[in-house]
Amino acid sequence: MKLVAVTGAGGFIGTELCALFESHGIQVIRLMRHRRPGLASTDWSLGEPLPRNCEAVDAVIHLATAAFGKSAAMTEAVAADVNGTRVLADSVRALKRNGNRPRFIFMSSQSARPDASNAYGRSKWAIENLLNQPDEISVRAGLVYGEAPASVFALFERLARLPVVPVVQSNAAIQPIHVRELADCILAILEMDAPPRLFELGAVEPMTFAQAVRAAAARAHKRAPVMIPMPVSLARFAAGVVDRLFRPAPSIGERLEGLISLRPMNTAPSLRLVGRQLKPLSDCV
């Protein structure tokens, strides 16, 4: 039986992943900031090393991330994300020096690149580059969605319910993946003998913003809203106004930049390696 530690185990992806692992006979140590009634977990926060009860783990799945909220805090969030992951990776490397060989799997993002216009994408790129040792693996996931609206996909769920939607004019680069399919892929990576250092996971054929809204409407069995094209410059201006007035966390501007600056991933090779053929967004109900 494998023993796996999962950071951010109480989150959207973590909850699904831990349940899948346990259904396959894998023992899971849930590393979480906040305890949940009836759920066994270990107290852990980003910036801390692995707890003592993780010294014999076969793998660490790193899902936890800093909170990218108000624009004034983005610099601090990037630093917390990168430095916190460095501390965690160093503690995993220390286990290797002591004779254990745990695999480190980091949940990155499609937006990861050095010139990303959103703080989240820049932080993921920085983390990918510090994970440069054998068996340190980055997983770039596209737009992750599930039954309950969560993460960025919640935006498309809300827009799909409106009669009229302003649609940002952008290239086709949104590549959805259901949270259960993503969990299946991570399990496959965990069980590989010698996986590559980078996986790109999401729909093979990218979607535009408008196509993603239509697919979200079809998934909810609703009529697609009327689409009104909106230039990127106007969308950025509107997002800035909303952020200044209401100061949401994460900011609308951060989420918008994460979507409009996406670049398509070549996901077919990674999907072949994990043996998955993803369902279309509109079919996953």
Give the pLDDT confidence of 127-137 residue by residue, as tens digits.
999 999 999 99
| Pairing of the two strands 42-43 and 27-32 | parallel
Question: Please, which pLDDT band fits residue 148 given cuts at 50, 70 and 90?
Answer: low
Instruction: Give yes or no for a contact between 173 and 206, defined as CB atoms under 8 angstroms apart.
Output: yes
Instruction: Give yes or no for a contact between 276 and 181, defined as CB atoms under 8 angstroms apart.
Output: yes
> 158-196: per-residue pLDDT in tens?
778 888 888 887 777 999 999 999 999 999 999 999 999
> 57-106: per-residue pLDDT in tens?
999 999 999 876 544 577 788 899 999 999 999 999 999 888 888 999 99
Domain at 3-283: CATH code:
3.40.50.720
The residue-averaged pLDDT of 213-230 equals 87
Percent of the chain surpassing pLDDT 90: 53
Cα–Cα distance for residue pair 89/194, rounded to 1 Å: 19
Using a 10 angstrom Cβ sphere, with 0-12 exposed, 13-18 middle and 19 or more buried, the burial of residue 75 is exposed
Strand partners, 4: 28, 59
Dihedrals phi, psi of 140, to nearest 5 degrees: -85, 115
Residue 276 has pLDDT above 60, yes or no: yes
Which residues are CB-contacts of 106 (< 8 A; sequence separation ≥ 6)? 62, 85, 127, 128, 131, 136, 137, 138, 139
Positive/negative CA dihedral, 8, 12, 14, 15 = positive
DSSP 129: H
Indicate the angle between helix axes 209-219 and 153-160, nearest 10 degrees.
70
Please choose, from the candidates 146, 147, 169, the residue with its C-alpha nearest in 3D space to the C-alpha of residue 228.
169
What is the model's pTM?
0.90
The token pair at 197 is 């250092």
Q: What is the pLDDT of residue 171?
A: 79
Q: Where are the domains of the chain?
A: 3-283
Can you tell me which residue has the tokens 């410059």?
233
Q: What is the pLDDT of residue 51?
A: 95
